[in-house]
Amino acid sequence: MSNLTPRAQLIPIDARVTFRYVTGWASEDRWEPMTLARLTAAVPVHREDDDGATYRHLLTFGPRGWQEAKQTYKRLLPRKERPTFVRWLSHMVAEYFAQGCRCEHDCCGHMQAYASLRYLGRRRFSVERRTYPNV
């Protein structure tokens, strides 16, 4: 980790095995450790009609991390039910950024978050993370 600049960090990407709960309760689902990926520092994106905040990151998997993710993908998903590897991995990365509250009512004001990913090739993703209040 000493070769990383302060502008990047290694983050754990886990595979969500079950999907019984919504985002706020996702920690109650079954997860499996998968690999690490390098995430660059957030770059703010300005939007005129934005009540929350939007940030852009670059996420890069090393060759070993990419292979670990592929092995997990093949092990967890039956061959006939598999989406493409990149689509599945995008979904698992988006789960890392997902955040929701556990309130029983809407308009509580807690911050929520989700991420949109675009595969850039060569084991790299562009990640756009959006946070917004539940109002």
In a domain, residue 106? The reply is yes
Q: How many domains does the chain have?
A: 1
The answer to the question of residue 2 being in a domain is no
pTM for the model stands at 0.85
Q: How far is CA 132 from CA 1, 68, 96, 113, in A?
A: 32, 33, 16, 6
**pLDDT tens digits along 75-97:** 999 888 899 999 999 999 999 99
Residue 3 inside a domain? The answer is no
How far apart, in whole angstroms, are the C-alpha atoms of residue 52 and residue 117? 18
Q: Is the pLDDT of residue 24 over 80?
A: yes
Structural domain harbouring 55: 8-133
